[in-house]
Homo-oligomer: A and B are copies of this chain.
């Protein structure tokens, strides 16, 4: 582990008490002793140096101090040598099978995507609308767990945020609210309208969000494509083969990250 993701409730206090799984991990798995240190990351992305001060019956107490990312601590693996800046990447993924969604969101978190959301569109094979609320909630909890694990393993300084609801495709433009550059991918005959990643991203400022909308296995319908175009989403033709959903998202995010950070 490269960093411990701190609970959402943590707001910068100098002392933090952990219970349950997290305390177990620190004191039993990593076998942290009193006085030993580990790096943490709060939900804002700040790096926090944690020192174990007390092991209690059902948890542990840590003292907290904000530090910069050059800090090295013995009980945590070395952080990546690249520490930013990162582009602000937003992945909107149309629903697919649960296991695939987990893989996609884990990998998107690994590379430092800032925001992840699930979208429901016409040709989605998966339909969550008739599922019990509990099942949908469990799905989001599994995605959250994958994101947290990826943050801890990858050492990402980006506190990846999962939108806690499934967006309907028709509501996506309102949700997005023109925060930056938005695009979707479509292997179609309308290639004359389509742009390349390089041309779209030319001169794009690193801090302005880039939204990548990935369709379901069945693609977008013609009506959906027209709606997205009218809503300011750019149709992009990737110069590659027809990709599965779980490949398309990572393909696009990787290329965009390289184009923006190496520009």
Using a CB–CB cutoff of 8 Å, the interface residues on chain A facing chain B are 2, 79-82, 86, 107, 110-112, 153-157, 187-189, 191, 196-199, 237-244, 246-247, 250-252, 254-255, 257-259, 261-263
A188 and B81 contact, CB distance less than 8 A = yes
The answer to whether A80 and B187 touch (CB under 8 A), given A2-B242, A242-B2, is yes
Nearest neighbor of A255 in chain B, beta-carbon distance: B258
- For the residues of A in contact with B, the DSSP-based class is loop
Contact check, B191 vs A251: say whether CB atoms are below 8 A apart: no
Q: Which residues of B contact A199 (CB under 8 A)?
A: 262
Contact between chains at B259 and A191 (CB < 8 Å) = no
Measured in the bound complex, the distance between the Cα atoms of B191 and A169 in whole Å is 43
A156 contact set on B, CB distance < 8 A: 241
Give min CB distance, A217 to chain B, whole Å.
Answer: 10
Are A258 and B197 in contact (CB-based, < 8 A)?
Answer: yes
Report A16 CB to chain B, min CB distance, Å: 24
Inter-chain contacts of A82 with B (CB < 8 A): 187, 237-241
Query: With A241-B110, A244-B153 in contact, do A254 and B262 touch (Cβ < 8 Å)?
Result: no
From A2, A82, A153, A258, residue with most partner B Cβ within 10 Å = A258
With A198-B262, A240-B82 as given contacts, are A247 and B155 in contact (CB-CB < 8 Å)? no
CB-based contact B81/A191 at 8 Å: yes
Tell me whether A111 and B241 are in contact (CB under 8 A): yes
